[in-house]
Structures are given as structure tokens and as C-alpha cells.
Amino acid sequence: MNTLSLWFHKFGSPPTFYRLSRLLCPWLFAAACLIGAVGLYAGLVLAPADYQQSDAYRIIFIHVPCAWMSLFAYIFMAANAFIAVVWRIKISEILAMTSAPVGAMFTAVTLLTGAIWGKPMWGTWWTWDARLTSELVLLFLYLGVIGLYSAIEDRRQAARAASFLGLIGIVNVPIVHFSVNWWNTLHQGSTVRLLGPSRIDASMLWPLLLMALATHIWFFASVLARSRTSVLEQESGKEWVREIVQAQGVRHG
Amino acid sequence: MHSQATADPVPLLSARALAFSRNEEPIFGPIDFSLHAGEVVLIEGDNGSGKTTLLKVLSGLLLPSSGTIELHGEALTMSRLSQQVALMGHLPGLKADLTALENLEFSIGVFGLRAGNTPMLALASLGLQGYEHVAVRLLSAGQKKRVALARLLLVPAALWLLDEPYANLDKEGIDLVNRLLEAHARRGGAALITSHGAYAFTSGSPRRLPLRPAA
Amino acid sequence: MHSQATADPVPLLSARALAFSRNEEPIFGPIDFSLHAGEVVLIEGDNGSGKTTLLKVLSGLLLPSSGTIELHGEALTMSRLSQQVALMGHLPGLKADLTALENLEFSIGVFGLRAGNTPMLALASLGLQGYEHVAVRLLSAGQKKRVALARLLLVPAALWLLDEPYANLDKEGIDLVNRLLEAHARRGGAALITSHGAYAFTSGSPRRLPLRPAA
Amino acid sequence: MRYGTLGSACAALIRRDLLLTWRRRGDALNPALFALMVVALFPLALGPEPNQLMQIAAGIVFVAILLASLLALDALFRSDYEDGTLEQIVLSPHPLPVLLACRIGAHWLTTAVPLILVAPLLAEMLHLPSTVMPVLMLALAIATPLLSLLGAVCVALTVGMRRSGMLLALLVLPLYVPVLIFAAGACNAAQAGLPFLAPLLLLGAGLALALVLVPLACAAALRISIS
Amino acid sequence: MRYGTLGSACAALIRRDLLLTWRRRGDALNPALFALMVVALFPLALGPEPNQLMQIAAGIVFVAILLASLLALDALFRSDYEDGTLEQIVLSPHPLPVLLACRIGAHWLTTAVPLILVAPLLAEMLHLPSTVMPVLMLALAIATPLLSLLGAVCVALTVGMRRSGMLLALLVLPLYVPVLIFAAGACNAAQAGLPFLAPLLLLGAGLALALVLVPLACAAALRISIS
Ligand code: HEM
Ligand SMILES: Nc1ncnc2c1ncn2[C@@H]1O[C@H](COP(=O)(O)OP(=O)(O)OP(=O)(O)O)[C@@H](O)[C@H]1O
Ligand SMILES: Nc1ncnc2c1ncn2[C@@H]1O[C@H](COP(=O)(O)OP(=O)(O)OP(=O)(O)O)[C@@H](O)[C@H]1O
Ligand SMILES: [Mg+2]
Ligand SMILES: [Mg+2]
């Protein structure tokens, strides 16, 4: 056992995880909603209209954070999948599997908002541009992971198999990100940079960053909430779960 | 649970606190047992008590959730394990489109050959003379089982793990399995066989290892 | 071959010179037998002797190559046959993703319901209370077999054809099957069951119908 | 003693199939996803020029939907065969063709309807002119039941075999060819501004015929292949 | 007492696979027939203008071959799994990745090579210019082993399941996308008179990588899915 897996065994033990996530989840959801509301207000109302695209551009405040999240969620999933496959740590299996549907949702929203935005901008809902295609492949990869996970009866075996598949798909993530640089495409090049100056006006930048923050928090809240139910389901035979169920039964009457 | 003291000090196979669980549900509880050369042990248990699972764990197909398995008193590695142990599962492991002989030759290529035996001899000793060049597809269920048993005679493994070797066999077939087991034990081999209560291991009185669901 | 004279003059089922062949090869020879209400007959034979095939012929799944089958002394038509005869084959005929109750309701929709019985009662009488709403997928092999048996209790058919009902059952399961068979016979039903030599029909001493390969 | 009526048997069968689909509703999306992927392969293989794609859009949509329903055919009788339910259905006291017609209808509902629903998306991805869309949908509405029916006969013939995937494809595809010609032909005609009703009417006539004959053929084929 | 060597094990495995293919040599033609049928669907669906077909010929040949090898994948481990041979192979005393590499190689020989051989015919049916033919064959020679290898990992992951056909397609197709893009891209470039070597070199690099990594991944995946 190396230090990493020791750490996981300590903090990632299902009961600890359950209690921690029960504590955190409501706060995270609340924070995500609050920051999201501020970001949306700033983006949709306060930020000035674009000189080229007038108000159509405002969909950026949903499209771009969701697009970032679709990639981030995959990386998060793959990291957990790696731990799950190599060290067989249960919490990582669960985290990887619960982040897949959330990531798939973000990917779908990205595709949808992109298509909606594409109609006024490019005059078509869809083109076979490298970024669009690779993002579509990303959705397929998420769906493959979800499908494989739900097709196998044994939860842990299913999680390991699906994690394995997810790991193979990670090659697609850099392709999505760098596709605008590697191939000349219709899609916007990178405009927001962490290092160096961004090619976007500050009045548009800060609502965008707020939205990005909100989606990140939402992602973690949602993954934690889903994982909590998974943990309960998978550990349903264990003593600590019975205690919780009993305690809740008493509370509910 | 069930452990016998015998003359031979180093058992061929020994399991300590061996347990396996699936989906966090224990399939079979921690069990301890050892198996010496020349022994045939019958694992008894109801449907779903984990007999098949136990054999898969012992053969290395599944990793135990806890506990240790030792071969000849040493912790096992996968490649040593598969030289010493032969598993005959529910499925015959035969290609229907190959002949009996071709099937055996494939398994010799992969697993090696026990000294002083040949596929023809093994088939003959199971009463399959004349069927060597018949596609397995055309053999009856009982004859297929015999080809699978012939493979056991050929591989060098000293420990046989047989999952329900009597299932779907008629009386003659059951006798045959018993004779093979006795001969193998006399040669210094050992075998672990499963059966649910309905069958009887007719000859002799083998040691029995009862298996109850852990939950 | 094997024909008994009994009190009841019109047998439930009678076969005259019944034979079946596949690819011009006879599978079972011409056999004659009759089955009266209240009787349970055990068809015995080695692997491949044609037991399963005989049941399929009697249930109407296969057409006999020669000979006649009569139900209540009348030549049979397909739809009368399937109202009178229930077959339980090697396969359970259950949908793994439906619950036990849903499976039974489907079979009632297709086959009808015996007077004075309900799915819940049938499941309860087989010791499956509390499992009515559990997906069959999650049941153990033994419990699945019980659900399949519950279906037999529900359908109106008077004649049961059971193919190896004891296979893969533990002792308790075997007793259960025997009790069901006795109750069915007492109610005026009849049953034809197959088994290869290894199993024993433990209770009573049923009539036996030996089957030998025709070739 | 209550013997089931034919109505109750059909209702039980359809209810069961819908219930099974609902229990595995994730899988119900698979044919549509597969069609989506196949459609996506073409722009990647041919290059993304919208004009070229537009020319061949209707044809590709049909080929994709045809392949998806081909793959979905396997589910028609196989699982019923493998768990023994098919034997029970064959032994039921009701006319087998009627029961099989219900089974095929339920299969069409659960696999082909999602395909029809996803078709506008597929067409849009290939830049099919929106004027052709109604014709495409109409052609699909007539063609997909025909595909399910024609496929059912082949499945009934191969159901006893293991690993029949490839063989099934080889049996089914030739039967699908006329459907493809008329359905895609109608769309191509509409796209070229020509009259497109004739092929659709022919398809409709074929469907009417198949609705009557296929259940009978299917019952005969099943009896052969499970014996 | 003679324990088998790794060499004898690989030889036995390959010999067995070739023998099995020979015993069912009728079935060995199925993938090629399937590709032929898929290719034949296009002129029917799109209309027979040679110029239009020529434009899209290379792409369609690739899509057809890709779908055919997708359907053939099912045979890679399934029959071995169902009759228990796979368990025996996993339990053998030799390194599993090497044995699996032999199995995949034999599968490629028996399913993909017929596809490559039939490719000129397919291309001719779609009027592919004969100057592009050598590039097509070269691209196929590099792409098909890559398809077999990538597919093998997914098959290994799904081998324990019943009726995995559709799911397998959904897992495999995204992985096939890059292969398709580069292989068809090379042909399209050649057809347009542009340099076509770069995508082929990329494919070659991918193949080299896959040859090393896939057997390892396959072994790991198999161990997960048969447990
Ligand atoms: C269905 C169509 C579309 C898809 C699938 C899509 C996908 C994506 C993805 C995946 C990203 C994140 C890339 C990364 O972080 O590396 C992104 C970012 C972005 N997209 Fe889209 N997009 C679509 C349409 C559009 C349209 C029509 C526009 C506007 C003309 C647009 C503008 C942007 C911008 C400005 C960014 C931020 C770029 C950056 O700062 O990195 N997208 N899109
Ligand atoms: N691949 C699997 N996935 C999930 N559960 C399994 C799997 N294999 C077996 N089980 C479960 O493990 C338990 C033990 O099964 P096992 O097959 O070892 O029992 P057994 O003693 O061999 O029974 P039988 O007498 O029916 O052969 C059962 O409850 C079974 O449902
Ligand atoms: N579908 C089939 N096609 C060809 N031959 C078959 C088929 N089903 C059975 N047979 C053959 O018919 C003969 C009788 O088989 P059957 O299954 O009736 O025997 P059985 O007495 O039930 O045997 P068991 O004890 O193994 O169940 C066997 O030789 C078998 O190989
Ligand atoms: Mg078992
Ligand atoms: Mg039988």
C-alpha cells in the first residue's frame, strides 16, 4: 500500500465519505445556484452587447462553461478510473461512474448550445468541423462508459470495466481542446487564457469566470450527491448503513 | 471449519481464512482447509452456496477477498498455479468443430503433457477408441464429458478442481469419473470436486467439506 | 413396451407406436403407453436416449414421425392440446427483468388461470412470500425453479410434462417437487417426468417408463 | 377454470414487451445512437463539404436506419428463445400468427419509433434540405414497419442458431433492398423536385401485403426452426 | 513431465484458429459478403450516377469494411467464452498478453484479409479511379489490423455479457473514428492529387503503438470481465 491508497482508505472509507458528502452537498448546491445566478445576471443583463453578434453571443455564458466542464469531468472521471483500475479503491470506482452521467449532461448541453449558437453565426446547426466532431465523440465515449456500467450485473466489476473503457477514451480530450489549433476550423480559437492576456473584454470575462466557477461547484455537488446514493446502495448490507436507515426511520416516524 | 490432521506434513493445497465476496456480499465465508496428495475431497453445498466460486478462486480465476492460498506450503504465483492445478468447470472447454484428438492436442500445446501419456492412450482409456477423429459436435453429451476428462489425464497438473463432474452423466459415467479419481489419487494426485446434495459419490467415502452461504 | 391396465377406462393420454426420427435416424423407437388421471410416470433413460424429445413430441412442439397420440381418447388438435398440457422444459421460461408476479401474470394472460388460484397464492405455496416483487434476475437458481413451478400450479392444464425437474436442485427442492406432484395427482392431474438414472424420485414408487435409444 | 382469450393473450404479450423495454430503457436508445454514429462516419470518411453531403443525405440516413434496425432485429426472438419463453408462446392455445404480429408490433414500437424520432437530427447533420424532411419522415413511417416485418421472417428462421449475427445480416439485407430503393428513391425524387408519390404508394402496398402475410410466414418459420 | 513452452502454446493457438476457420470456411466469407452488400446499398440509395459515386467511393469502401469488421469482432472471444476455452487460455501457464496477441492475429488473418482482398472489387463497383487503388490497399493494410486491435479491447470488456452486439458497436465505433479519418483521408487526398503520406504515417505509428499496448490492455480487460 502506498501513501495514496492509504489516504484513500482513511478518507475514502464509505462511512466517512457518506457523512462528509451529506454535510457538504446542500452547501455546494446552494453556492452553485447563488454564484450561477449572479453570473447569469451579469452576463445576460449587465454585460454589453457584442459589436458583431449583438445579443446572440450571450449564449457564451452557458456554452463555454459547459464545454469546459465536459472536458474537466472527463479528466476527473479518468483520474478516478485510473485509481479504480490500479488500486481497486471503491470510492474511486463510484466517483468515476457517477461523474460520467454528469459529464455527459454537460457535453450534451455544450452540443446543444453550440448548435443553437451556430445557426445565427455560421448559418447552420452543425458542420463537421474538428472540434464539433471530437466533442460528439466525447459524448459517445461518455455514453459508452454509462452503457457498459449499466450492462454488467456486478457493480464493482462493472465499474472496473467501464473505468477501463473511460481510460482508453482519454486520448480524445486533448483532441477536443487542441483541435482548433491543429486543424483550421470554423470554431472559435481559444479566447480565454489563464496565463497571459485573454482576448475577451473584461466586462464579459468576469461573468464568464463566475459561471465557470458555478458549474464546477455544481459538478462536484452533483457527483457527491449521486455517489452518496451509490455508496448506500452498494453497502446496503453493512452495519453502518443499517444504523443510518434506522436513525432515519426513527426521525420520519 | 473443517481441517484434518494427516500424515504428510506439507499439504498440496491449503487455504487459510479464505473468503470471497461479490458486490460486498460475502459468497462464501472464511474457510480453512488443506488437501494432501492422495486425497479426494467433496465440496457439498446447496445451490448458490458458492462451490463454483470457491473452485474459481482456488484456480486463480478470481482473486479472494481475504485469506491466503498456499501450494506445497508456498504462497502462489499465477504461473506456478496453472502448472499445478487443472480446472474442469461447468463448461467442457472443447471446440465443437475440432475432433477429439485436435482438441486434446491444443490443450497439450498450451498446458504441456504429463510424462508417459499420449492423447490416443488417454482417449482409449476413457473408452473412446474409434472416436479420435470425430468432430466433438457429433459426440453425445456423455462422450463430450469423457473428452474433457481425457484432457485432465494429459495435463501435468497434480491437483484437479472438478465442478460438478457428475452432472448430466448417467450411472456408467458416474462410475467412470469415480474410477479416474481413484487412479489419480493413487498416483499421488489430489482432487477437489463439487456436488450438490442430490448426487452421491458412490465409491469409498471421501472427505466432505460442507459449504454454507456466508450471509 | 410398458402398458398398465388401470381402473379408469379412458386414459388422459395415450400413445400408440409413437416414434420420432431426426435426419432419418430414429431417436426413440415405437413406444406405447398410456397415462391415467392421478398417475405420475417417470421416464428413465441415459443421456441422449430421447427423453427431452419425447416430451416435446407429446406437447406438440415436434410432430411424431409415426404413431398416434390421444388425449381423453380423442385425436388431438393443437389448441386443445395446449389447454390440456403444460410443458416445463430445461429452460425456465422466465424473463429475468420482470418480477416473479409479472412473469406469472404474463403466463396467465396467455394460458389462462386454474379456478381458485391466484399468483400470490401460488407463490406463497412455494415459499416465495416476500419475493413477489423481486426481479427474477435477482433470485437464486432454486428460487427461479420455484417460480417456474408456480406457473404450473396456475395454468389449467391437467397433464404436466416436466423435463428433469430435479436437475440442479438441492434436497429440499427435490422434496418440494415431489410434494407438488403428489398434490397434482390427488387433484386428478397426471404428470410425466424425465430423469436420468442418477436422481431418485424419493417419495412413493412411481411407475417407470424406461427409454432406450432406438438405434 | 378460465382459459385466456386471444385478446388477453395479445394484451399480456404487448404489456410484457413494453414493460421489459421500460426496465432496460437505457438500452432502448441504442439503435438510435448506433444510427447517429453510422451517420457521423460518413462526413468523416467523405470529407465535410456541405454540398456533397446534402446530395447523398437521404440515402445515408436510410442506410444508417436500415443497419440500425438490422442490428436491433437480433432482440426480436432471441432472448425469448434463450430463456424458453418462445416455447411457451408457441405452445399457447391461441393462433401463433396473431401473437407473433403483436410481438413484431411491440418490437417496432420500441426500436423503430426511436429511430424515426432521431431521423430529423440525422438529416440535419447531413444538411438535408428542410423541404425534403416531410417526405423523409413519411417514407420512414412506411418503411420501418416493413423492415421489421421482413426482418422478422429471417430472424424466425435463424433463431435456433448460435451466433447468427452475420448470417442474419446476409439473409436480411437482400430483402431490405427493395424497401431501400423505393424509400430513398422517394426522397431523392423530392429533393430533385420530381414527383415522389408513386414509390411511397408502392411501399404502402408492400406494407399492407406484409402485414397480412408475414405473421403467417413467421409462425411457419418458427415452427421449423425450434423443432 | 513436459510443460509447454510459450512457442508451442502460440503455435497451438494459431493452428487451432486456422483449423477452425478451415472447418467452417463457408462462414469465413461472410464479412466480405457483408461489405459487398453494404457497398451495393449505396448506388441503390443514392442513384447510380458514376461521377457522384466516384467522389465518395473511397469513403464508402472504408465505412463498409469498418462495419464488416465490427460485426466480425463478435467472433473474437465469444465462442471461446461460451464453450469454456477462454477460461482455459486465461489459466494457461504462459503470459496472457502474448496468447491474446496470437488470437487477435489469427482473427485478423481470417476476417480482415478476406476484406482486403475483396476491396478492389468494392472500389471498382463505385468507380474509384484506379490511380487511388494502391493507396486504398496500403491504407487498408495498415488500418485493418488497427481496427482488429482496438476492437479486441472492447470485445474483451464485453465478453461476459449476453447479447452485447449493439453495445459493442457503441463502444467500438468512437475508437474507430480516428482510424477512419486518417485512412479515408489518405485516399481522398490521393484522389484529389494532394500528398497522402502524412496520414498513412500517422496510422502506422498508431499501429505500432497498438501492437504493444493492446495485448496488455486486452489481458487486463479480460481478467476484469471474466471475474
Ligand atoms: C455544436 C457546436 C459547438 C460545439 C460542439 C462546441 C464545442 C466547444 C468546446 C468543446 C469548447 C471548449 C474547448 C476548450 O476548452 O478547449 C468550446 C469553447 C468555445 N466555443 Fe464552442 N462549440 C460549438 C459552437 C460554437 C459556436 C457557434 C460558437 C460561436 C461562434 C462557439 C464559441 C466558443 C467560444 C468563444 C469558446 C471559448 C473558447 C476558449 O476560450 O477556449 N462555439 N466550444
Ligand atoms: N458472475 C457472477 N456475478 C454475480 N453473481 C454471481 C456470479 N456467479 C455467481 N454468482 C452468485 O454467487 C453465488 C454463488 O454462486 P456459485 O455458482 O458459486 O454457487 P454454486 O454453489 O456453484 O451453486 P450451484 O449448485 O447452483 O452450481 C450465487 O448467489 C450466485 O448468484
Ligand atoms: N435440435 C436437435 N438437433 C439435432 N439433434 C438433436 C437435437 N436435439 C436433440 N438431438 C439429438 O437427439 C438425441 C436425443 O436427445 P434428447 O435431448 O432427447 O436426449 P435426453 O434423453 O433428453 O438426454 P439428456 O439426458 O442428455 O437430457 C440425442 O442424440 C441428441 O443429440
Ligand atoms: Mg456451481
Ligand atoms: Mg434432456
> What is the mean pLDDT of the segment spanning E203-212?
95
pLDDT value at position A11? Answer: 62
Nearest-CA residue for ligand 3 atom 29 is C48
pLDDT value at position A49? Answer: 67
> What is the mean pLDDT of the segment spanning D38-58?
89
pLDDT value at position E48? Answer: 81
Chain B residues with CB-CB distance to A235 below 8 A: 24
B215: nearest CA partner in chain A = A237
| Rg of chain B over all Cα atoms, to the nearest angstrom | 17
CB of B138 within 6 A of ligand 3: the answer is: no
**Lowest mean per-residue pLDDT among B14-28, D3-17, E87-101:** B14-28
Chain A residues with CB-CB distance to D48 below 8 A: 127-129
Which of C18, C22, C212 has the most ligand 3 atoms within 8 A of CB, as the residue to mutate? C22
Domain encompassing residue D66:
2-225
Mean pLDDT of chain B: 81
Q: How far is CA A194 from CA A60, A70, A189, B171, in A?
A: 18, 18, 14, 78
Torsion of CA A61, A63, A66, A67, to 10 degrees: -130
Nearest-atom index, ligand 1, CA of A70 = 10
Inter-chain touch B198–C140, beta carbons under 8 Å: no
> What is the mean pLDDT of the segment spanning B40-50?
80
Instruction: Identify the residue with better confidence: D165 or D212.
Output: D212
Write the CB contacts of A119 (distance below 8 Å, at least 6 apart in sequence). Answer: A125
pLDDT higher than threshold 80 for residue E139: yes
Nearest-CA residue for ligand 3 atom 8 is C53
Grid coordinates of E76: 473474437
pLDDT higher than threshold 80 for residue B19: yes
Does the beta carbon of D28 lie under 8 angstroms from any beta carbon of chain C? no
> What is the mean pLDDT of the segment spanning B33-41?
87
CB of A177 within 6 A of ligand 1: the answer is: yes
Chain A residues with CB-CB distance to B64 below 8 A: none
If we measure between CA atoms, which residue out of C207, C190, C205, C211 comes closest to residue C11? C190
Confirm if E191 and E136 have CB atoms less than 8 A apart.
no
The minimal CB distance from D26 to the residues A124, A129, A150 is found for A150
Inter-chain touch D46–E37, beta carbons under 8 Å: no
Local confidence band at D163 (pLDDT 50, 70, 90 cut-offs):
low
CB of A79 within 6 A of ligand 1: the answer is: no
Torsion of CA E178, E183, E188, E193, to 10 degrees: 120
- Per the DSSP assignment, residues forming a β-bridge with A48 are none
pLDDT value at position E179? Answer: 93
pLDDT value at position C4? Answer: 45
Chain C residues with CB-CB distance to D82 below 8 A: 91
**CATH label of the domain that carries residue A238:** 1.20.120
Does the beta carbon of C114 lie under 8 angstroms from any beta carbon of chain D? yes
C53: nearest CA partner in chain D = D227
Whole-prediction pTM: 0.88
Does the beta carbon of C197 lie under 8 angstroms from any beta carbon of chain B? yes
Local confidence band at B6 (pLDDT 50, 70, 90 cut-offs):
very low
CB of B52 within 6 A of ligand 2: the answer is: yes
A3 inside domain: no
Q: How many domains does chain A have?
A: 1
pLDDT value at position E176? Answer: 94
Interface of E with D (CB under 8 A): 27, 30-31, 33-34, 37-38, 40-42, 44-47, 52, 55-56, 58-60, 62-63, 66-67, 71-72, 74-75, 78-79, 82, 162-163, 165-167, 169-170, 173-174, 177, 180-181, 184, 188
Nearest-atom index, ligand 3, CA of B142 = 26
Read off the pLDDT of residues B82-136 as tens digits, 9 standing for 90 and up: 778 889 887 888 998 899 999 999 999 988 888 888 889 999 888 888 888 989 8
Q: E50 to chain B, minimum CA–CA distance in Å? A: 45
Task: Return per-residue pLDDT of chain C as tens, 215 residues.
Answer: 344 444 556 788 888 888 888 888 888 878 888 888 888 888 887 767 788 888 888 888 888 888 888 888 777 776 667 778 889 887 888 998 899 999 999 999 988 888 888 889 999 888 888 888 988 888 877 788 889 999 999 988 888 999 888 876 777 778 888 888 888 888 888 899 887 654 544 455 566 677 665 54
pLDDT value at position C3? Answer: 42
Instruction: Identify the residue with better confidence: A9 or D70.
Output: D70
Nearest-atom index, ligand 3, CA of C54 = 18
If we measure between CA atoms, which residue out of E161, E146, E147 comes closest to residue E205? E146
Question: What percent of chain C has pLDDT above 90?
Answer: 9
pLDDT value at position D40? Answer: 92
pLDDT value at position C9? Answer: 67
Q: What stretch of H or E contains B160?
A: strand B159-162
CB of B49 within 6 A of ligand 2: the answer is: yes
Chain B residues with CB-CB distance to E83 below 8 A: 91-96
Q: How many domains does chain D have?
A: 1
- Per the DSSP assignment, residues forming a β-bridge with C19 are C66
Confirm if E135 and E183 have CB atoms less than 8 A apart.
no
Read off the pLDDT of residues E2-21 as tens digits, 9 standing for 90 and up: 677 889 999 999 999 999 99
Q: What is the rounded distance in angstroms from the CA atom of residue A106 to the CA atom of residue C8? A: 75
D93: nearest CA partner in chain C = C79
Inter-chain touch D177–E60, beta carbons under 8 Å: no
CB of B55 within 6 A of ligand 2: the answer is: no
Nearest-CA residue for ligand 1 atom 27 is A118
pLDDT value at position C6? Answer: 47
Nearest-atom index, ligand 2, CA of B49 = 21
- The amino acid that residue E145 corresponds to is P
Inter-chain touch E171–A85, beta carbons under 8 Å: no
Does the beta carbon of D26 lie under 8 angstroms from any beta carbon of chain C? no
Residues of chain A with pLDDT under 50: 1, 195, 253
B89: nearest CA partner in chain E = E84
Domain encompassing residue A62:
26-48+58-190+203-246
CB of A203 within 6 A of ligand 1: the answer is: no
pLDDT value at position C206? Answer: 63
Inter-chain touch B24–A154, beta carbons under 8 Å: no
D122: nearest CA partner in chain A = A126
Q: How far is CA E49 from CA A116, D55, E53, E126, in A?
A: 35, 12, 6, 10
A147 inside domain: yes
Does the beta carbon of B21 lie under 8 angstroms from any beta carbon of chain E? no
**Lowest mean per-residue pLDDT among E100-104, E149-153, E164-168, E203-207:** E164-168
A69 inside domain: yes
- The amino acid that residue B159 corresponds to is L
